[in-house]
Amino acid sequence: EVQLLESGGGLVQPGGSLRLSCAASGFTFSSYAMSWVRQAPGKGLEWVSAISSSGDSTYYADSVKGRFTISRDNSKNTLFLQMNSLRAEDTAVYYCAKDYSNYPANCDYWGQGTLVTVSS
């Protein structure tokens, strides 16, 4: 069974940093692209960042480019999102999602999400 377990969310002040992690199990992690997708309270979905299966290609939404860094450790089946210079508009539930391909395409499995709140 595919499982994705996010952690690292919480309350942070504007300008602060957080590192999200996503522990994956139930599939060959190194064979699939992974993504972070967020959802602000009461709002729609926004694709934040994606990474290829090998980690050699990364993708960012313009809203986070230069502030967020996606990475993965295929030896530990873990996906990361380093978030710096956080803003109030980054407040959202952040979902870790598995792609069905080795490059970003569509997400066939999702974690339950971790809430990031940016507020003073």
Q: Which is nearer to another protein, 16 or 34 (CB)?
A: 34
Q: How far apart are CA 70 and CA 93, in angstroms?
A: 16
Q: By CB under 8 A, name the binding residues for another protein.
A: 37, 44-47, 50, 59-62, 95, 100, 104-108, 110-113
Q: How far apart are the first and last CA of the chain?
A: 40
Q: How far apart are CA 85 and CA 82, in angstroms?
A: 10
Work out how close the CB of 97 gets to another protein at its nearest, in angstroms, rounded to a whole number. 8
Q: How far apart are CA 114 and CA 11, in angstroms?
A: 11
Work out how close the CB of 17 gets to another protein at its nearest, in angstroms, rounded to a whole number. 23
Work out how close the CB of 75 gets to another protein at its nearest, in angstroms, rounded to a whole number. 26
